[in-house]
Amino acid sequence: MKVSLSWLTQYVDVDMPPEDLADALTMAGLEVESVSDRYEYLDRVVVGRIAKIASHPQADNLKICQVDVGYRVIPVVCGAPNVKKDMLAPCALPGICLPDGNIIKKDLIRGVTSEGMLCSEAELGLGASRAGIMELASKFSPGDPLNQALGLSDPVFEIDLTPNRADCLSIIGIGREVAAFKNTKVKYPEISLPESCDDISNYTSVKILDPDFCPRYAAMLVVDVKVGPSPFWLQDRLISIGLKPINNVVDATNFVMMETGQPLHAFDFDRLAENRIVVRVAQQDETFTTLDQKERRLDPEMLMICDGEKPVAIGGVMGGLNSEVENTTTRVLLESAYFDPVCIRKTAKKLVLSTDASHRFERGVDPRGTTAALHRVAQLIVEISSGKLISGTIDEHPKPLPDKIIDCSVNALNSHLGTRLDQNEIESFLRSIEFDVEKIDNDKLRVFPPSCRVDISRFEDLTEEIARLLGYDNIKTTFPLIPADDRKASRRVDSRARIKHLMTGMGFTEVINYSFINKLSCDRLQIRPDDPKRNQVEILNRLSEDQSVMRTSLVPGLLETMHRNLAMQNKNLKLFEMGNVFFSTGEIESQPIEVEMLAGLWTGIRNDALWFSEEINCDFYDLKGVVEELLKSLGVVNGAFTLMPPEFCCYTKTGYTAQVFITDEPLGLLGELHPNVLGNYDLKQTAYIFELNFDLLLKQIPTMKSARPIPKFPATARDITLIVDKNVEALKILKCVETLDQDLVESLYLFDVFEGDPTPSDKKSISFRITYRSFQETLDDDKVNRIHKNIADSLLKEFDAALPA
């Protein structure tokens, strides 16, 4: 956004240096990227005195002037009729680029060398006159830079606005900010419309067929218009901020758009079929030629402004070639509207067509400023085109936008900012930016933001405004007030931190993926149709199809991360992630169900090849050991693993998937990824994955740890090997031993499973190690052997097992 200081001072008093104004705007949240003087180019234009004039030998209408430019006299060929001896005039030296694009250089003109150019007002961009060279007062000295001699200076501020500050996409919008920190008032332009005996309702009508995309549309009609160049002051205003003048009608609409922030459009009224306006959405594959002479293909999500037969503009983006104002136009229909920002943003993006109008509409214009801007542009066009205004304004407003009302607590605001502002100070700040305020009680204010502030909708927005107006440098730095540690309140946070510490300690790297995934992820994971993971929450304003739904599992994100790493030849990965998954309830008004999960992935090698060992790939039991160690370190002692039934194995292999339980409640699963899933994600190597419900796990993590003294007496161990059926799970044997009520059994773990000769083909050999210990005495062998035999006999009977021969 460019703002010239001379234009800004029309609406607000500015009595500070440009550099200080730039700093003040930046501290108010409007970052000034640069400040430049629009007349800086006149440094290369100097005051020249015409010392001598001679006729051109080859052209009767040209003269050869010897011009004193201060440091020497240079020859300049000139054709102006008013040139005379000892006249002071602007002389452009070689190297300057004039506003009309003409680059001055040393050149031969009809065989005579010319080392500069004597300039008119129009050539310098200082006026409209082209009748002759600009004559300067005699008080100037040859060689003086013209901008210094004439005192020409107009700083132009380049302001980088954040998307939420649509109200500042205008000169008056910037003026409101200046008025706030200068404690003054904005001088709004006075609007006075001439009266007419005709009424616009006798000429035209407006019909809105889609009020969701176009809540408001206003129009006015000006007749007997004479289209031509704009007056110099209007052209100069537009040029000062980088806009190109076109004609008086179009320039007036652009001027008011930059002045007020409300985009406007002018139609040639006589080119509108049936002299009426219809606002509707486009038809599928409908085509339309815009003012840039390009044919655009449209769709039903785009808004069209039509006459009685055809489209004449793409609403909020660009007008059409078939209704543009030309030199022969005599009747002009003016448009001022409020369009849905999302609709305009999507349209501009699809058409790859960003304009000054769409830039403003997609950020949100003032919904109540529609007619004020319309009256302002109608007044200008009547003044500069000798037109006649038809009385009345068509203002179709089928879907009024509600007023915004925000309650503000003084105590809450001070708590947020760390300030001690009283109610009167806060009210004063808010009124300085044109907010209306009502006092409810000693603490509460009821605030009514102006309609131009589309970014203000809640209490936090008011807090931000007060901070801006107070000045961030004026908010004292204070230490945060942290309440006393509440173990209940921080239990989730503490547990989460412990898990991350444990996982990184086991060599895993934490990843943080997007909560949005591709809708096809469930298909890629082979999720069953009746699985809750199919209850996805769709994203309305999706960035892309790869982020079209909210995730119901952490697994897709880990697989995408694995894919990217494999593409970079990083083939050994140990990854984990903690985050929420989201399940739709099926009801539009209700919030999705959020569950916090923990997931991990291991692929590649378990350890590198060394001189004494070979490289070994990770396997199912490595990841199972990770989960076991995690549960043990968290103090969860009642975890168990069972083989997942084949019908519930979706993205993991049957027979290589375990279900994790805590006290018979399912916690999650772990297993080897199914080959089909690996193929769906274009993964070329085996991977193992686990996914646990952190919300359920949290309930099982003990709040206090129990401890017992270090044993004084030694332990003794015994091994037992059983020949059992192949389908007997080791977990069942472990649980059987736990039920035997043997207090001296300290630990029991599986250390070997064997199949093959000499074990029968339908059997397997399974070996356990049992550790015995007493806290009262040293156990002798007889007692240990007796207990061990009782356990062995119970297992042989329970599982129809046999001891090896």
Q: What is the model's pLDDT at position 690?
A: 97
Q: Could you read off the pLDDT of 267-305 as tens digits, one per residue?
A: 999 999 999 999 999 999 999 999 999 999 999 999 999
| Claim to verify: residue 24 and residue 48 sit in the same structural domain | no
pLDDT digits (tens, 9 = 90+) for 157-191: 999 999 999 999 999 999 999 999 999 999 999 99
Is the omega angle on the peptide bond into residue 758 within 30 degrees of 0, that is, cis? Answer: yes
pLDDT at residue number 482: 65
Within-domain flag for 750: yes
797 vs 129, more confident: 797
Per the rule left: phi > 0, alpha: psi between -120 and 50, beta: everything else, 724 is beta
Query: Are the C-beta atoms of 377 and 189 separated by less than 8 Å?
Result: no
Residues 48, 32, single domain; the answer is no
In whole angstroms, how far apart are CA 434 and each of 185, 375, 427, 686, 800? 10, 22, 11, 64, 88
Q: Which residues contact 148 (CB under 8 A, 6 or more apart)?
A: none
Residue 738, domain member (yes or no): yes
68 annotated to bind ligand: no
Supply the pLDDT for residue 766.
93
The reply to whether 506 and 597 lie within a common domain is: yes
- Checking if the pLDDT of 487 tops 60, the result is no
- Interior angle at CA 526, CA 521 and CA 528, nearest 5: 110
- Reported as a pLDDT band with limits 50, 70 and 90, residue 588 is confident
Burial level of 276, CB count in 10 A (0-12/13-18/19+)?
A: middle
pLDDT in tens, 352-393: 999 999 999 999 999 999 999 999 999 999 999 999 999 999
215 lies in the same domain as 302: yes
Which uninterrupted H or E stretch holds 68? strand 59-68
CATH (domain of 775): 3.30.70.380
Give the contacts of 789 (CB within 8 A, at least 6 positions apart): none
In a domain, 538, yes or no: yes
Q: What's the rounded mean pLDDT across residues 423-433?
A: 95
Among 440, 471, 502, the domain boundary falls at 471
Cα gap 12→606, rounded to integer Å: 72
Rg (CA), the chain: 41
Q: Which of 71-75, 660-664, 701-705, 765-769 has the lowest mean pLDDT?
A: 701-705
Does a structural domain hold residue 531? yes
- The string of DSSP letters for 671-735 reads EEEPHHHHHHTT--S-EEEEEEEHHHHHHHS-SS----PPPSS--EEEEEEEEEETT--HHHHHH
Residues of 246-260 as b/e, b for ≥16 C-beta within 10 angstroms? bbbbbbbbbbbbbbb
Q: Is residue 706 part of a domain?
A: no
Q: Does the pLDDT of residue 488 top 60, yes or no?
A: no
pTM: 0.62
Read off the CATH number of the domain in which 144 is found: 2.40.50.140
The per-residue pLDDT for range 302-342, each reduced to its tens digit, is 999 999 999 999 999 999 999 999 999 999 999 999 999 99
Same structural domain for residues 450 and 364? no
**Separation between Cα atoms, residue 116 and residue 669, nearest integer Å:** 84
- For 276, the 3-state DSSP assignment is coil
Residue 556 predicted with pLDDT over 60: yes
Quote the pLDDT of residue 151: 85
With cut-offs at 50, 70 and 90, classify the pLDDT of residue 727: confident
Q: Which long-range contacts (CB under 8 A, 24 or more apart) does 378-383 make?
A: 378/193, 378/220, 378/222, 378/334, 379/191, 379/192, 379/193, 380/234, 380/252, 380/255, 380/256, 381/222, 381/225, 381/248, 381/249, 381/252, 381/266, 381/332, 381/334, 382/193, 382/194, 382/222
CA distances for 166 relative to 34, 186, 260, 332, 758, angstroms: 20, 18, 11, 28, 83
Is 486 a residue whose pLDDT tops 70?
no
pLDDT winner (highest mean) among 119-128, 141-150, 426-435, 635-644: 426-435
Q: Say if residue 377 is in the same domain as residue 519.
A: no
Provide the residue range defining the domain that includes 21: 2-38+154-182
Do 561 and 688 share a domain, yes or no?
yes
The string of pLDDT tens digits covering residues 22-42 is 999 999 999 999 999 988 888
Q: Are residues 34 and 47 both part of a single domain?
A: no
In a domain, 568, yes or no: yes
Count the residues in the chain: 805
d(C-alpha 546, C-alpha 555), whole Å: 15
What whole-number distance in Å separates Cα of residue 537 and Cα of residue 618? 35
> Which residues lie across from 577 on neighbouring strands?
599
CATH number at residue 465: 3.30.56.10
Q: Is the pLDDT of residue 612 over 80?
A: no
| Out of 483-487, 505-509, 646-650, least confident range | 483-487
DSSP per position, 352-389: T---HHHHHHTT---TT-HHHHHHHHHHHHHHHH--EE
Q: Are 719 and 804 in contact (CB under 8 A)?
A: no
Say yes or no: 675 and 746 in one domain.
no
b/e per residue 505-538 (b: at least 16 CB within 10 A): eeebeebebebbbbeebbebbebeeeeebeebbe
597 and 744 belong to one structural domain:
no
| Sheet with strand 318-319: strands edge to edge | 206-208, 277-281, 303-306, 311-314, 318-319
Residue 480 belongs to some domain of the structure: no
Q: Which residues contact 379 (CB under 8 A, 6 or more apart)?
A: 191, 192, 193
pLDDT at residue number 227: 96
pLDDT value of residue 170? 96
Q: Out of 381-385, 512-516, 610-614, pick the least confident.
A: 610-614
Best CA proximity match to 220, nearest among 262, 252, 267, 255: 267
CA-closest candidate to residue 258, choices 383, 341, 184, 365: 365
Last residue of a domain, one of 700, 732, 747: 700
Residue 64 has pLDDT above 60, yes or no: yes
Say whether 455 counts as a known binding-site residue. Answer: yes
If one counts every other C-beta atom within 10 angstroms of the C-beta of residue 667, the result is: 22
589 is in an annotated binding site: no
The residue behind tokens 């412990």 is: 498
Give the pLDDT of residue 732. 84
Neighbouring residues of 41: CB distance < 8 A, sequence distance ≥ 6: 96, 97, 98, 99
Work out the number of other CB atoms within 10 angstroms of the CB of residue 24: 18
Do 685 and 760 sit in the same domain of this protein?
A: no
User: Residue 485: is its pLDDT beyond 70?
Assistant: no
Torsion of CA 111, 117, 127, 61, to 10 degrees: -30
pLDDT of residue 484: 59
464 is in an annotated binding site: yes
Q: Are residues 604 and 625 in the same domain?
A: yes
Least confident of 307-321, 381-395, 629-643, 698-712: 698-712
The residue with tokens 């680029």 is 97
Which range, 100-109, 571-580, 747-756, is most confident?
571-580
In a domain, 623, yes or no: yes
Is residue 513 over pLDDT 90? yes
Q: How many domains does the chain have?
A: 6
Q: What is the mean pLDDT of the chain?
A: 92
